[in-house]
Amino acid sequence: MAIQDLTASLDLKQNLNIYITCKQFDNLNLILNIFDNSVQANLTGYNVRLRAMKSDQVPLIQEHTGITINSNIVNINADEQLTTTAGDTPIELQFIDSTGNKKATFNLVLKVVPSVIAVSASISTATYTLLEELENKLDQATDYFENLTEFIEQHPDIPALDTRVTNVENEIETARGMYNNLDERLDIYDLNTSKINNLNIINVKDYGAIGDGSSHLLSSKFATLASAQTVYPNATSLSDEIDLVAIQKALNYAISLDKGGTIYIPTGRYKINRSITFDTTKYIKICGEGYNTQISGTSNFNSVIFECHNCGVVFSDLMLVGATSGTSNGIYAAGCNTSIFTRINFQNQVRGLELNASYSVEVNSCVFEVCYTYGIISTTSCHNLNVNKCNFYTCGVQNSGQAIRILVGSDNLIFNDNDFEYCFVAFQLQDCRSISICRNYIEYCSENPIVFTGLCSGVSISENFLSLGSKQFIIQNVTNGIMARNTIYNQNVSYGSNVMDFIIGNNIVSGTSVVNSTKLNAITLINSWTAQSNYSDVGYIKDSNGIVHLEGNILNSTAILPSVAFSLPVGYRPNKILTFGTSGTSGFNLILVNPNGDVIVSTAPGSHEVGLNGITFFARQ
């Protein structure tokens, strides 16, 4: 690589500022890798134009001259005017297809460091390389006309000379038009620059963040706390980390803006010694570059990395690392309705994500790795929580906790397409309603993988893979639910206490798994009716569609018929009297189900068996 080469990667979709540095008056060869939403861009058939605005507000537009394209790599032998002015020079590449449609990259910021001395330096001027080419053509045309007479004498046999002269005249008119349009193009550039600034993307490195993985105390740059606070008003001690106060200052600036802003934390390993906090109703987004952006506490850090209150915040593409001793937490969100957490890696935290009175929260594609007590916990109601495509590894093992814990009754909880491996418990939900646990991979749990406490209702456990749990899956404290279409391998499933209307069926069971059949609600038989042995259990159940099913065989040898065999409780009764016919030892039996719940059986006198299977009806709401 030549010493003039500078290499960077730009994306046509991802709104990030990329920074490179050079000295004033350097001659640069820019080697730029172009991506389309992180995929190598196909630049076939495109022309490219470099547009830059130097810090003295003098523009430079380079087109055709010194620009080559190979695959997704653009090589630009930059015009010398690019580095004449010290300061930040935002650059964008504009790609133009054959129809004139344009698409620009997001900014590449060239930091031009002042030269020690400027000798024979170029003066900063507005530059458009295409116009320079046209000026050369004008000079050629002038020479052409000056020698036209001699040319005609030497070449009397060229019949198309008039046509060529006309073409040159057209080129001259085109050049004049381009000169006239230059001001208009520069106005458009100014407008686009203004639009970029209005996006309010705030880079923490512009506020002094270092991010090299080492500790940098304020005391290394400031003699007193007062002097430090002139730069970082949020500083509380000279023992504060520079990364901490820089990130906090960038965040405070975003909060001061009318519409909030986006805090961009570029690739690096940042150190903090206390929490990064904010309390605002404005839009705040905090984003990084995935695993390449790591934030961790110092050795004595025992708090939460981010603490946010009262805003719909967006976190994305960060890695939050705690101490191996497990003394820190990842994110605490209180009153943060409609917040979104995407592609966050919580590692070695006591609590990865803690919610408090935060509704309609989405957690997408996050990783909870070795969270000692909880991966996700809500200490209050968290209605409309959606956890999707997340990975939970060894969560809760050290402190007998859970990957996901909901402590207070919550409605409409969705846990889909997640991976739980080697966790102590995958879920523990208390007094929750309308729960979907679907398409998850749950393996090697140390205890009951899904725990319901209090009384949960409206539970759907479907299309999951459940396997190799150390303890059996005990279904208890649930009313109105279904466990169906799951694949169960070497995982026992049974009923515990306090269960009503929970149906188990249509699962794929393999290995050593033992899965109980659906548990019926027990009935109390009266008037000498008894359950007949050697048949299915006598009972009733209501499915998720509100249909009541009666099952089993009953026997009566002494009662005067017809008689009431048993009564159904409220919630399992029809709107009006229903009549059913069933078979028995005496032949045809007549069964009436009344709106008051009484089930009346009519048959011939004597010892007779009556089957209840097949009796179904809609329950009155």
What pLDDT shows up at residue 435?
A: 98
Residues 401 and 492 in one domain: yes
Q: Are residues 192 and 99 in the same domain?
A: no
Tally the domains of the chain: 4
Calculate the alpha carbon distances from 471 to 56, 223, 273, 453 in Å. 70, 60, 41, 17
Tokens of 30: 């820019």
Residue 128: which of 58, 40, 24, 227 has the closest Cα?
Answer: 58
Residues 420 and 478 in one domain: yes
Is residue 327 one of the residues assigned to a domain?
A: no
Instruction: Tell me the pLDDT tens digit for each residue of 310-355.
Output: 999 999 999 999 977 668 999 999 999 999 999 999 999 999 999 9
> For residues 467-476, b (16+ Cβ closer than 10 Å) or e, as one string?
bebeebbbbb
What string of DSSP letters covers 8-51?
EEEESSS---EEEEEETT---EEEEEEEETTEE---TT-EEEEE
pLDDT for residue 540 = 96
- Burial environment of residue 12 by CB neighbours within 10 A (0 to 12, 13 to 18, 19 or more): middle
pTM over 0.75: no
From 107, 125, 143, the end of a domain falls on 125
Let me know if residue 401 belongs to a domain: yes
Q: How many Å apart are CA 452 and CA 497, to the nearest integer? A: 11
Q: Does residue 137 sit within a domain?
A: yes
Q: Give the integer Cα–Cα distance in Å for 495 and 516.
A: 7
Tell me, what amino acid is at 86? Answer: A
Same domain, yes or no: 113 and 137 = no
In a domain, 382, yes or no: no
Do 90 and 191 have their domain in common? no
Cβ within 8 Å of residue 548, ≥6 positions away: 540, 541, 542, 568, 572, 616, 617, 618, 619
Scan for tokens 């905090």, then name that residue: 286
Alpha carbons within 13 A on the beta-carbon side of 290: 3
Query: Distance between CA 568 and CA 548 in Å, rounded?
Result: 10
The whole-chain average pLDDT of the chain stands at 88
Read off the CATH number of the domain in which 100 is found: 2.60.40.3350
pLDDT of residue 193: 43
What is the reported pLDDT for 132? 63
Please state whether beta strands 563-567 and 553-556 pair in parallel, antiparallel, or not at all (unpaired): unpaired
* End position of a domain, from candidates 76, 104, 125: 125
Same domain? For 116 and 61 the reply is yes
Q: Are residues 438 and 508 in the same domain?
A: yes
508 and 544 housed in the same domain: no
Domain annotation covers residue 441: yes
Do residue 79 and residue 156 come from a single domain?
A: no
Mean pLDDT per segment of 10 residues, for the chain of length 621 residues?
Answer: 86 86 91 89 89 90 88 91 91 88 88 80 69 62 58 60 68 70 55 52 96 96 96 96 98 94 97 96 95 93 96 96 84 97 97 97 97 96 98 94 96 98 97 98 95 97 93 94 96 94 94 91 92 87 93 81 92 95 77 96 76 92 68
Residue that finishes a domain, picked among 451, 483, 517:
517
- Examine residue 270 and state whether it is found in any structural domain, yes or no: no
By the 8 A CB rule, do 140 and 164 touch?
no
Give the per-residue pLDDT at 14.
82
Give residue 139's pLDDT.
Answer: 60
Is 360 a member of any domain?
no
Place of tokens 């981010």: 306
Count of helix runs (H) and strand runs (E) in the chain: 5, 53
Tell me which residue of 238, 232, 233 sits closest to 218, measured CA to CA. Answer: 238
Same domain, 437 and 501: yes
The string of pLDDT tens digits covering residues 391-424 is 999 999 988 999 999 999 999 999 999 999 999 9
Same domain, 114 and 189: no
Give the residue numbers spanning the domain of 179. 132-198
145 and 173 inside one domain: yes
Whole-number Å distance between alpha carbons of 482 and 215: 53
* 345 inside domain: no
Verify cis geometry, omega within 30 degrees of 0, for the bond prior to 562. yes
Alpha carbon distance 308, 264 (integer Å): 17
Query: Which CATH number do you get for residue 537?
Result: 2.60.40
